[in-house]
Structure 1
Amino acid sequence: MSDELQRLRQLLAVADADSQARVEGRLEEVESRLRRLPSDLPDTIDAADRQGPALARSLSQPLQRSIEQLARERRELLAEAVFPVIGPAIRRAITEALRELVLNLNRLLESAFTPRGLRWRWQAWRSGVPYAQVALRELLRFRVDHLFLVQNGSGLVLASARQLDLDSDRDTDAVAAMLTAIRDFARDAGLAPGDAELSEVTLGEHLLRLYAGPQAYLAAAITGVPGEELDGALTELLETAHLQHDPQLQAGEPTENLQLLLQQWLDSSGQAQAELETAQPKRARRPWLGIMAVSV
């Protein structure tokens, strides 16, 4: 009986030793991984990011909460971090607004007593709208004729759209190559300070406005004198393209969805402009009163 107990003790001791060895081996492996974690973490994150958007989705909420907490607790630190970006943007917006104001005011004064100005006074009298409002509406009349979405660097046209009444026999790739070359020249020649981008080019009767984005830029060919609200609308269009089609923009893949996005915006813009131009006056008065008002 004692021999059997001794044998049992030996078997249990061997089992305990094996289990302890396995546990110690696992602990050593975990400790080794923890020691390597700081150096392996960047490569691990890069590998996870290349596999798809899962990592970005996982980090979006924690990063958002961290930024919100930083904004509540350390506002001055966040303000200092974004000032180099926000400051120039604000100054540029103010400069553009003042430039547009001076330009429109100058045109308004120049046309006050011309035949065109008298016609606007007649329209203002008929509609009951102040003369300044009618004149500015006429001066700011414009139309977006073409839109080009071009990939940064390569100059590849990812999507384009045009007004339906315009000629379609245009080499969009040549237009995009020209715009990209002009942007690169302005940057390489040091004509634009810092990270500034070329934003406007005049070609004949068309005004080309360029809106820079992370993966692609948007070029709009405009006739007339656009108001500042157009900049906001086209910037929002570019942001929508990046938000909904960022993988295609990065890969440089033209898609029907991008084409449809630009064409729908252009169609809705043209329809809104047509409705504005064909709007009927609110009320009419007698012609002889209009003649007296014009002569005043």
Structure 2
Amino acid sequence: MSQETAANGQPLTSELAKLRELLLGPEQAAIEALRERFDDPKLFAEAVGSVLAEAIRLRASGDPRFKQLLERIVEDVIRNSVRRNPAILTDALFPIISGAVRKSVAAALRGMMESIDQLVEQGFSRRAFKWRIEAFRTGRPFGEIVLLRSTLYRVEQVFLIHRNTGLLLSQRAADSAVHRDADLIAAMMTAIQDFVTDSFGKQEGDDLESFRVGECAVWIESSPNAVLAGVVRGVAPARLRRVFQGALERICSEQAREIEEFDGDTACFRESERHLDSCLLGRLSAAEAPGRVRWPWVLAACVSVLGVILWSVPVLRERSRWSQYLNRLKEEPGIVLTETGRDGGNYYVSGLRDPLAADPAALLRESGIDGEQVRFQWEPYVSLQPGLAAVRRMEVSKTAIEKQAVRFPVNSAKISVAQAETITGLVSHIRDLLESARVVARPVLVEVIGHADFSGGETHNNRLAVQRAGAVFAALIGEGLPASQIRARGAGSSEPLRSGDSELDKEFNRSVSFRVLFPK
């Protein structure tokens, strides 16, 4: 049996070995256990997994950048997973979406069946005719006028309740309504909903929609975090439920964070009172009793209808002209409308306009609208529309062509070698001009004009000018340009390019110039 040795190689006695084991034994055992944990992948993974979640939570709470990094990683993982297999997301959302769609369709069908009798009665009656005139006169939707004038009901109180706690967030009441204890009603509604859930069971998306207490009915609209309840007296139309739904959706959209983080403080929900006020609708006046129609009233009604027609015809004609004018502006290349409307009885139009676009004021005169009633505000911009871009290229080519001149020696109509480069550049510019004109379907003609100086007689100069123009014309046609879009004429010395009598002036006048024409 071999003896243990010390660090210097000397054998240890049994007493020293026992002393080392007593002093260093626990630490050596702990170090050995740590070594086994780090060397064993399974044990190491278990150790890291037991503290990983807490470590991530602590790091994310103290380092916003780490939290943003994790969010991007999770988003990328979800996006890649959906791209690989969209069925996973579809299967996960199906129970939620199918329930919501089923509930929405059922509510829409129920509302349609409840209101169909009222619509038939209100659509073909004397009252309906009056309501249509009122809708036209006030600019309000016909359905809203029907809602306010037809049924006998009143929304007396509206409550906004936190869904998870059952606490009242806000409430509004009609001026003449009997005020009830809002907290008591909120607690009662929560208790009723809990009773319905416990007694009849509840599937995802199913909620209590209404219940009746004496002469009043309580209509309920629910969202994931809030409940809107209205106390309705009388028989309300089905369209009132859409008013409640719209108000609840707007509240949940504007104050989503406040509702989700509600801690008992309701002061922040005063902003929702304006949405609750929009639910306090009603119609309490007595219905019009049928009676004998009297001729004076009929005559007065006919006169009123005739007056409305006489008043409305010019208004409708003006609106139609304005609408047609705006549509024409929208179709015009190089014009982009950003804002239109009426202000103080006059129209206004704002937008972007290319300098080459049609004149909106000229189009306004063609439409028959008084120009004094319209205010324009245009910002210049360069349109990339093909037609305007072609017009812009045509202007560039026209300028370049008319700057060119082919010069000739004294008493000669032969194109010199030095002027061949001018011909080559001229051909390129004319081709660009003809191509741009073809894009916008605009006729174009290039006129080749021969000139002569004052040194010869008029007959000689005219003949020489015609010969020079013919020589340049032949050179252009020889380069493949169409003869139908180029014409040559001689001006002799009657149209000098320079009016002086110096040698330089004479040299300029012994030439051929060019003019671009756009025939009608």
Structure 1 residues 289 and 266, CA gap change in structure 2 (3 angstroms): same
Aligned equivalents of 1:245, 1:58: Cα separation in 2: 28
SS in 2 for 1:238: helix
2:228 alignment counterpart: 219
Question: How far 1:222 moved relative to its partner?
Answer: 5.4
User: Would you say 1:288 and 2:302 are equivalent positions?
Assistant: yes
Percent identity between the aligned chains?
Answer: 21
Question: How far 1:189 moved relative to its partner?
Answer: 0.5
Aligned equivalents of 2:193, 2:35: Cα separation in 1: 57
1:246 alignment counterpart: 260
1:182 alignment counterpart: 192
2:126 alignment counterpart: 118
Structure 1 residues 45 and 145, CA gap change in structure 2 (3 angstroms): farther
Whether contact under 8 Å (1:112, 1:118) holds in the other structure is no
1:103 alignment counterpart: 114
Question: How far 1:95 moved relative to its partner?
Answer: 1.2
Whether contact under 8 Å (1:145, 1:163) holds in the other structure is yes
Matches within 5 A, 1:1-296: 31=38, 34-42=45-53, 59-111=70-122, 117-125=125-133, 128=136, 134=142, 136-141=143-148, 145-152=157-164, 154-157=165-168, 159-163=169-173, 165=175, 169-190=179-200, 192-193=202-203, 196-203=206-213, 204-213=215-224, 216-221=225-230, 223=232, 224-225=236-237, 226-228=240-242, 230-247=244-261, 249=262, 252-257=263-268, 259-267=269-277, 269=278, 287-288=301-302
Question: How far 1:83 moved relative to its partner?
Answer: 0.1
Q: 5+ residue gaps in structure 1?
A: 1-23, 275-285
Higher helix share: 1
Higher strand share: 2
Aligned equivalents of 1:68, 1:189: Cα separation in 2: 42
Q: Residue deviations 1:68-124, cap 9 Å, x none?
A: 3334332221111100110011011111112212222221124456xxx42221232
Task: Compare relative contact order (CA 8 Å, sep 6+) and give the higher one, 1 or 2.
Answer: 1
Q: Residue deviations 1:217-237, cap 9 Å, x none?
A: 322215443153541441342
Look up the equivalent residue of 1:124 and give its one-letter code. R
Aligned equivalents of 2:220, 2:63: Cα separation in 1: 33
Whether contact under 8 Å (2:228, 2:248) holds in the other structure is no
Q: Which has the larger radius of gyration?
A: 2
2:380 alignment counterpart: none
CA RMSD, Structure 1 to Structure 2 (Å): 4.2
Q: Residue deviations 1:249-284, cap 9 Å, x none?
A: 2xx422311x223224334x369x79xxxxxxxxxx
Q: Residue deviations 1:193-240, cap 9 Å, x none?
A: 456222333443444213142xx4322215443153541441342354
Q: Tell me the matched-pair count.
A: 240
Structure 1 residues 122 and 196, CA gap change in structure 2 (3 angstroms): closer
Q: 5+ residue gaps in structure 2?
A: 1-30, 149-153, 283-299, 307-520
Aligned equivalents of 1:201, 1:57: Cα separation in 2: 47
TM-score normalised by the chain length of structure 2: 0.38
Structure 1 residues 220 and 29, CA gap change in structure 2 (3 angstroms): farther
Whether contact under 8 Å (1:150, 1:217) holds in the other structure is yes
Question: How far 1:166 moved relative to its partner?
Answer: 5.5
Q: Residue deviations 1:27-71, cap 9 Å, x none?
A: 96994775412233445567789x799697665444344333334
Aligned equivalents of 1:199, 1:46: Cα separation in 2: 41
Aligned equivalents of 1:182, 1:64: Cα separation in 2: 41
